[in-house]
Amino acid sequence: MIGDRPLALVLVEMILLVLVGPLVTGTIQKMKARLQCRQGAGVFQPYRDLAKLFRKGTVQADTTSGFFWSIPVLVLAATVAAGALVPVIRAGPPAFPLGDAVMLLGLLALARFLTAVGALDAGGAFGGMGASREMTIAPLVEPVLMMVVFSTAVAAGTTELGALAAHRGTSWFLAWRAADFLGFAAMLVLLPAETGRIPVDNPDTHLELTMLHEGMLLEHSGPGFGCMALASHTRQIVTLSLVSALFFPIGPAGGAAGLLLGAGAFAVKILVLATFLALVESSYAKLRLFRVPQYLGVGFVCALTALALRIL
Amino acid sequence: MESGPGVIAACYGAGALLSLLLARWSGRLALVVSHLAAAAGAAAGLALSLGLLLGEPGRTLIRPLPNFFPFAKLSLLIDGLSAYFLLVVSVVAVAAAIYGPAYLRAHSPDAGSTRQAAQGFALNVFLGCMAFLCCAGDALTFLFCWEGMTLASYVLVVSDDRDGENARAGLLYMVMAHGGTALLLVAFLALTERAGAFDFAALRAAAAGLDGPTRTTLFFLALGGFATKAGVVPLHVWLPRAHPAAPSHVSALMSGVMLKVAIYGLLRFTFDLLAPVAGPLPFSWGWTVLFVGTTSAVLGVLYALQQHDLKRLLAFHSVENIGIILIGVGLAMILWRQSTGGALATVALTAALLHTVNHAAFKGLLFLGAGSVLSRTHLRNIEELGGLARRMPWTAGLFLLGAVAISALPPLNGFVSEWLTFQALLGGATRFHGPAGLVIVFSAAMLALTGGLAAACFAKAFGVTFLGRPRTSQAEHATEAPPSMIAGMLWLGALCVALGVAPGYAMRLLDAPTAALLHGPGASAVVTARGPLVLSTALTPSGTNGTAISMTMVAALLIALSAIALLLRRGVRRAPQRVAPTWTCGMTPTARFDYTATAFAKPLRLVFAALYHPRREVTRETAGTPYVVGRIHYAGEIVDLAETHIYHRVEREISALSQLIRARSTGRIYGYIGFVLAALFVALLLLGVAY
Amino acid sequence: MAETLLWVLPLVPTVTALLMLTTRDRRVLSAIDVAGSSVLLALALILARDVAAGGPRALGVFRVDALGLVFLLLVVVLTLAVSIYTVGWLKQAVAVGNMKAEYLRSYFALVHAFVATMIVTVLADNLGVLWIAMEGTTITSAVLIGYHGHHHGLEAAWKYIIVTTIGISFGLFGTVLVYAAYAAAAGVHGGAGSLSWSAIMQVAPTLDPGIIRIGFIFVMVGYGTKAGLAPMHLWLPDAHSQAPTPVSALLSGVLIKCALLGIIRFQTIAAAACGPAFPARVLIVFGLTSVVVATPFILAQHDIKRLLGYHSVEHVGIVALGLGFGGPVGTYGALLHVVNHGITKALAFFAAGKAIARYGTRDMRVIRGLLAVAPIGATLLMLAALSLAGVPPFSIFVSELMVLRAGIGHGHWLAIAIFLAMVVVIFAGLLHHAGAMVFGEPPATASREPEAWSPLIGMFVLAAIMILLGLTIPASLDRLLQRATEVVVG
Amino acid sequence: MSPLSPDAVHTVIDDLGALLLFTMILIVAAGQIYRAIYSVAAQSLLISIAGAVLATATGNPDLWVIAGITLAVKAILLPWVLHRVVQRMNVRREVEPVIPIAATLALAVAIVVVSFQLSASLGPVRQAITGNALPVGIALTLTGVLVMATRKTALTQMVGLFASENGIFFTAMAVTQGMPLIIEIGVILDVILAALVMTIMVLRVRSTVDADIADLDRLRG
């Protein structure tokens, strides 16, 4: 089975994701601001923040071990590598196989694991609290994600995202069945959890009552924090791309026109999902930590029903 | 290769004997020599198994043994499956043998020479029994090695006794193991008595004539026996007590290898001996195994999460990983069809077998790492550790490596086997419609949950043990482990990396066992059909579509990206670096600011409260008035459901009943006479007349 | 030569016993003891060689075949081990005051008289002589059980002598019935016939099955009482716990086996007369009862010697099960179990005796941390416990395996299930007790003097046999057991 | 060859058997130890008579010997010893039953019924056996043990033991018309020896702790 996406295209797509990632965050922030009747910062504000961070010096906690320094490097690498596994502008399996949905989830989990370990390194209560909560939510999210992936993979017989996308084809909007709706619903429930947003997490504050992800980054500073921030942006766009690859991919089309069409479609899809996130963030309150399992339970039931519909 | 088994036996035998002999002069010498012999035996095992696995396919080494017992012909039979498990045994044995002497010296410097002799002796017997268990060609050799393995590990568990706790752990272990052996005895003897001989070929022939219900009964007997040894929930209660009690390198062997030997037994008994000649395995077998595997995986990791004893935590993770292996085995049983060969069954079995060696590698590594910490601090409670990464960087790094591997995170080996398991589950889900398919998918979800929880658990274990500030003076004054211990860990760490980054090359080793058991294509024909760099599975019935990944490419990508990220991390310009205390809202940070393991695991403890039945007890010492609190004592514990609801109850009932019966006996002689008379009377009535 | 030996063998311990009455010196007594036992062993080995070469030998009321030889060898080997053990044990016991120096000669004389009666039991061909010798063992050993003279010992001795006398009077009744059937079948009247087992066996298939059935039940209950089968076993833990340790070893190791030999002799007759199913059923019922009944008492036991006593009940039950499951495998296993249990139980009593001497009590709640005060003795105790519990590579595992094989081979599933469940529970209990004694911190009262050599030698010999028989069955022993099995199952 | 016809022997033995059962009932019902001893002596006397009858009938001289020994040992010697012991020990003369004597009697009746039922089930063999000797023998043996199981004092237990042995002797004589002489003599010697050892024990315990040996119950469980 020779794939449709040459290695060069895969790498280009990956770089594209990294480059566009902060923009998505910026867009969501801007939309949130507008929804809250604020002016808000520009959509390119995350780029400015990153640029500033990479120029700054670092303040490192005196208790940290040698691992702490390298954590941002590894987290960023793992997250970006996950970006290489999602089809962005063209469906179909890659020419040389890299990884599938399971690998993608694995790489994201690796990044999360390393972040949590880094958070514990400084020996402060905030990092520990953030790590503990993050590692509580993550195991609950992962099975549901896996079931969502399976709900589409069972039909296609593969977990390779490009192949999944190709299997769904260009006319996906005609072929959607009840199972797909439910699976998509489950995915929408999971999205805030996976991207660290309300109602599961609040990316805007460092208050100890709310923080999960941000708490873990507290002791990072300068370029290290820049790497972690970039990783967060990338992770967000990779998750959104995963949703689009699973549920509304664009089919394989050759030539430059096809690529352009794919890029355009990608932009639209991400924008739609970003708008969804912004809407949710603006209209819901942050849940208590121990309400989160219940919230995820909704996703679990949706995913299970989707699977049941697919298999029975 | 012909002399391989002899060499292995000679090495272990010499190690055992020399340990006893040399201990009269010097316990340390005995320890070193016995471990060296064990290393030699393990190396011989490695050579023999690799030779067989990489040699001509389908080769089987059969060696008759001396006629120890007149009623049974004993023999060794080393085929692909045997060789593979011999490989697993030997791989960890090498590390343990290198690691052992320095560990024992550091951990218990005051040990007398008797204890050292016993430890050296038992270690060699333990390893020898495991090696020859895998190579057994008849039921009697199998059972003897099985029990020898148990006994030797029991000796090792109780050898390190301080407060009687180990003796209790050992007792529970032996009793459970004995119960399991009783089941195995029945299962094997039912075949041997039918066959009139003990060798596996005869058993196979005898099993061919069994009817369905008997066959299934025997399977469940054997499953019970092997599951007890493998520590499957709810038969696991001995495991988290016994494994931590042993010296750490023995814990590594018990958790990493001994449990796998049970898996070997299950595979051998089910696929090789008991499987019906034609047609699939009975419906109930595979589903049961899948179910108990899933349960073990989830409950194992959940209980592990709440442990604060480092070795106990690792032991519970063995329960989890055995569960994952059994998921693969169960799937293989479900999917195997003699007629279609079942490429998918091959994937499932490959996943199980690969996870076997993977778990051996990373669990061995983790136990050795825990042993390094233990030998330096004499502490097993991770709440009392902390900050060791700065003091023991090698140990910490290798432990982290093992933690990543066991959490099934790419690019290490744990991920590879879990990926294969997922693929097999997906394939199963595509084949079985209806509830069966849903069960399989549910199993996949549980597997994902397991992986996530394992990551949480090891973030806790690694973070609290090695990071932050030391919480006790022992932790503060810890120093790095000696080189020989590091070397033992490095060997296993390298294996974790190699099996993770280039698993395709290991698939050849799996060819022989998978082909031998399933009579189908070997592992490499299915999984690495697209070359060793790519792992692929053909999952749709037509075999066209499939999933492919390349661990090697991903690893390369990760390295390249890390290099780029490293540049970013250094910053655009050389900005100043400053060291400052951790931010604690303006207070002076001390070790008490560190997040404890209890606190770390608390959210999950509350989420899964239904399974834990957590209990907590908080007492306040107040200074006169309730508003001034002097001290707060907090004690919390969780309850192992199986332990309290099954084992404690059974134990209580049995001992209460025994006490009652014993108290009933009066010691009056007329009672004695009455019983004799009654016995005669009843016997005459029942047996004399009724006949 | 061999025929002469049949008379000489019981005579040797008798002579030794008489010889012992002539001196009061402990050293001389011990020397005679060991020498007499050694001579006995040597003669028995010569006899064994002769029989192996030339088949069964008979002389008058005595006859030795392979079956008897198995038991004979067990008796003489254990006698020698006991003699060696006694040397050091006695020294200590006299020093502590447990044994009075002036009565030593009667003790030794009684032990050898006891051995003589057991040898007669084993060699008897005449079922009447078998009975007489069996009652003789009761009388001699009853005196030995009460030897310490305190009222616990006398209580045990009284229970022992009364209950076993009742038991063997039932045995006599059974013998009478068998003789009646024989007399009827052979057409002899009055005392003209003989009670010779080999003669009865020749006409056994023609014997009246009804009367043999009743006779066998009487014998089973009767000799079963002596063998310690439940529910007739109640005297056993009392007697075995109160006797001096070497005597306990002989009681548990050999005496109950001699009673089993009686049962086996009658089993063969019954099997020939009524078909093998009938005695098999009786044996399985009693065997299973023994295994089940012993269990709670083993679990909830505090007295180490009573524990071992109850354990003998269990193992006699296993032998009965093996005989009941029958066939060549079951019988072979049962006979092997007789040997294995004899050796192991003697070792266990020896090791327990040393522990008791060290702590001054039989209460297992006090005996703690033996490994710290007496590492070798503790190791041997642990080995014996593991072996008794049926763990390989010790001998009992092999014979239990054979018994299991027979049970499974003949499809006694229910019996196997109960048996295995009880074995596992007993294993738990035994290992619990042994582990508690061996490990942990010893109390300050425990004696820490170095371990004496002679008990150790006695124990080493037994432990070596125990492990050897666990790892292999030597060809000579195998041949002997095969022949003995043939005697039983034909 | 014999002065008595087989039928006559049957009748005599049956009658003797009935008398033996009667003495057995006396032993069971005895409220005082002396009565029990006298009853067992009477029982032994009846057995030696039975021996004499059978000896006459079969012409087997061994039976004469056995009848004589039984008379000497069991009808005279042992009762006398027991009598002396009771006198010397100066114990309470009442037997101390474990269960009411009426219940013991009921059990004895049950034993007799079962014994007869058991031998009735034998069928053809009964032809070879002299009259009702077998059920009577079984009943005597079991009832003797029943007495032991329901009495608390050592001496009553010894009485029960002798009664039980009497049952066996009766069976041996009546059913087989005599066992080989040497065996019978050995059996009797054993009985004497056992009685001797028991008596010594009883006296020893009485002299050291002043208790009945059969009443000790410190060893239990």
Q: Over the stretch C379-399, which tens digit does the pLDDT of each residue have?
A: 999 999 999 998 888 999 999
Q: Assess if residue A41 is contained within a domain.
A: yes
What's residue C24's pLDDT? 86
The residues in B 183-212 lying below 8 A from C, measured between CB atoms, are 185-186, 189-190, 192-193
Q: Assess if residue D123 is contained within a domain.
A: yes
What's residue B277's pLDDT? 79
User: Cβ D214–B669 below 8 Å, yes or no?
Assistant: yes
How close A295 gets to chain B, by Cα (Å)? 12
CB B238 within 8 A of CB B172: yes
Domain interval for residue D16: 6-212
pLDDT of B298 higher than 60: yes
What's residue C151's pLDDT? 81
Q: How many domains does chain D have?
A: 1
Q: Assess if residue A2 is contained within a domain.
A: no
Q: What is the mean pLDDT of chain B?
A: 89
User: Cβ D165–C135 below 8 Å, yes or no?
Assistant: no
Q: What are the tokens at B147?
A: 């029990």
pLDDT of C84 higher than 60: yes
What's residue A226's pLDDT? 94
Distance CA C299, CA C311 (A): 10
Question: Mean pLDDT throughout B581-587?
Answer: 83
Residues of B in contact with A219 (CB under 8 A): 582-583
Q: Assess if residue A134 is contained within a domain.
A: yes
Burial B212-228 (b: 16+ CB within 10 A, else e): eeebbebbebbbbbbbb
User: Cβ B558–A77 below 8 Å, yes or no?
Assistant: yes
Beta-bridged to residue C363, according to DSSP, are: C303
pLDDT (tens digit per residue) in B428-459: 888 887 888 889 989 999 999 999 999 999 99
Domain interval for residue A300: 7-311
Angle at B176 between CA B349 and CA B95, to 5 degrees: 55
The C-alpha torsion from B341 through B342 and B347 to B349, rounded to 10°, is: -70
Beta-bridged to residue C217, according to DSSP, are: none
The reply to whether A169 touches chain B by the CB within 8 Å rule is: no
Distance CA B629, CA A154 (A): 59
pLDDT of A232 higher than 90: yes
pLDDT of A207 higher than 80: no
What's residue B89's pLDDT? 95
- Percent of chain C at pLDDT above 70? 99
Q: How many domains does chain A have?
A: 1
Among candidate residues B152, B150, B314, the one with its CA nearest the CA of residue B244? B314
What's residue D130's pLDDT? 60
Q: What are the tokens at B631?
A: 């001290």
Task: Tally Cβ neighbours within 10 Å of residue C53.
Answer: 8
User: For residue B152, what are the CA distances in angstroms to A256, B124, B126, B148, C290?
Assistant: 70, 9, 5, 6, 31
Nearest residue in chain B measured CA to CA from C211: B688
User: For residue A260, what are the CA distances in angstroms to A120, A270, B70?
Assistant: 45, 15, 82
Nearest residue in chain C measured CA to CA from B662: C297
All chains having 3 or more CB pairs closer than 8 angstroms to chain B: A, C, D
How close B650 gets to chain C, by Cα (Å)? 11
String of DSSP letters for C322-357: HHHH-HHHHHHHHHHHHHHHHHHHHHHHHHHHHHHH
Residues of B in contact with D145 (CB under 8 A): 673, 676-677
Distance CA C196, CA C182 (A): 10
User: Cβ C425–B679 below 8 Å, yes or no?
Assistant: no
Residue D125 has its nearest CB partner, among C135, C210, C237, at C210
Give B339's pLDDT tier (boundaries 50, 70, 90): low
What's residue A2's pLDDT? 46
Residues of B with CB under 8 A from a CB of D: 662-663, 665-671, 673-674, 676-677, 680-681, 684-685, 688-689
Q: What are the tokens at B228?
A: 């007890």
CB C143 within 8 A of CB C17: no
Residues of B in contact with A109 (CB under 8 A): 407, 409, 451-452, 455
pLDDT (tens digit per residue) in C316-328: 999 999 999 988 9
Question: Mean pLDDT throughout C78-94?
Answer: 92
Q: Assess if residue D187 is contained within a domain.
A: yes
Residues of A in contact with B461 (CB under 8 A): none
Give B148's pLDDT tier (boundaries 50, 70, 90): very high
What are the two backbone dihedrals, phi and then psi, of residue C231, each rounded to the nearest 5 degrees?
-90, 25
User: Cβ C297–B174 below 8 Å, yes or no?
Assistant: no
pLDDT of C128 higher than 60: yes
The reply to whether D46 touches chain B by the CB within 8 Å rule is: no
Nearest residue in chain B measured CA to CA from D99: B670
The residues in C 103-162 lying below 8 A from D, measured between CB atoms, are 126, 128-129, 131-132, 135-136, 138-139, 142-143, 146, 151-152, 154-159, 161-162
User: Cβ D217–B670 below 8 Å, yes or no?
Assistant: no
Three-class SS of residue C452?
coil
Q: Assess if residue D191 is contained within a domain.
A: yes
Q: Assess if residue D88 is contained within a domain.
A: yes
Question: Mean pLDDT throughout A89-98?
Answer: 84
DSSP assignment letter at C192: G
pLDDT of A208 higher than 70: no
Q: Assess if residue D219 is contained within a domain.
A: no
**More confident of the two residues D173 and B332:** B332
Q: What are the tokens at B206?
A: 């005898």
State the ipTM, two decimals.
0.90
User: Cβ D125–C136 below 8 Å, yes or no?
Assistant: no
User: Cβ D216–C165 below 8 Å, yes or no?
Assistant: no
Question: Mean pLDDT throughout B310-338?
Answer: 92
What's residue B691's pLDDT? 45
First to last CA, chain C: 27
pLDDT of B545 higher than 70: no
How close D133 gets to chain C, by Cα (Å)? 12
Nearest residue in chain C measured CA to CA from B186: C408
Q: Is the peptide bond before A252 cis (omega within 30 degrees of 0)?
A: no
- Percent of chain A at pLDDT above 70? 96
How close D55 gets to chain C, by Cα (Å)? 10
Q: Assess if residue A266 is contained within a domain.
A: yes
Question: Mean pLDDT throughout D130-146?
Answer: 86
Write down the H helix ranges in B23-138: 27-54, 80-107, 113-135
How close B657 gets to chain D, by Cα (Å)? 13
Distance CA B668, CA D99 (A): 14
Size of interface B-C (CB pairs under 8 A): 157
What's residue C326's pLDDT? 87
What's residue B340's pLDDT? 55
pLDDT of C68 higher than 50: yes
**More confident of the two residues B665 and B231:** B231
Residues of C in contact with B654 (CB under 8 A): 299, 425
Angle at B672 between CA B667 and CA B678, to 5 degrees: 145
Among candidate residues C79, C89, C85, C237, the one with its CA nearest the CA of residue C155? C237
Give D1's pLDDT tier (boundaries 50, 70, 90): very low
pLDDT (tens digit per residue) in A128-177: 889 999 999 999 999 999 999 988 888 888 888 888 888 887 777 777 88
Lowest mean pLDDT among B218-232, B638-652, C251-265: B638-652
How close B324 gets to chain A, by Cα (Å)? 15
Nearest residue in chain C measured CA to CA from B129: C393
Q: Which long-range contacts (CB under 8 A, 24 or more apart) does B113-117 make?
A: B113/B23, B113/B24, B113/B26, B113/B27, B113/B30, B114/B23, B114/B27, B114/C375, B115/B27, B115/B159, B116/B19, B116/B23, B116/B27, B116/B28, B116/B30, B116/B31, B117/B19, B117/B20, B117/B22, B117/B23, B117/B27, B117/B30
All chains having 3 or more CB pairs closer than 8 angstroms to chain A: B
Burial B256-273 (b: 16+ CB within 10 A, else e): bbbbbbbbbbbbbbbbbb
What's residue B338's pLDDT? 54
Mutate to test the interface with D, among C154, C178, C234, C295 (most CBs of D within 10 A): C154
How close D100 gets to chain C, by Cα (Å)? 22
User: Cβ B673–D148 below 8 Å, yes or no?
Assistant: yes
pLDDT of C349 higher than 70: yes
Distance CA A120, CA B468 (A): 6
How close C273 gets to chain D, by Cα (Å)? 14
pLDDT (tens digit per residue) in B68-97: 888 888 999 999 999 999 999 999 999 999
Residues of D in contact with B688 (CB under 8 A): 118
What's residue D3's pLDDT? 61
What's residue D174's pLDDT? 81
The residues in D 190-209 lying below 8 A from B, measured between CB atoms, are none
Beta-bridged to residue B255, according to DSSP, are: none
The residues in B 360-399 lying below 8 A from C, measured between CB atoms, are none
- Percent of chain C at pLDDT above 90? 69
Tokens 């996906």, residue located: A172
What's residue A1's pLDDT? 39
Q: One-letter amino acid identity for C11? A: L
Among candidate residues C115, C278, A67, the one with its CA nearest the CA of residue B466? A67
Q: Assess if residue D69 is contained within a domain.
A: yes
How close C73 gets to chain D, by Cα (Å)? 26
pLDDT of C460 higher than 90: yes
Question: Mean pLDDT throughout C161-173?
Answer: 92
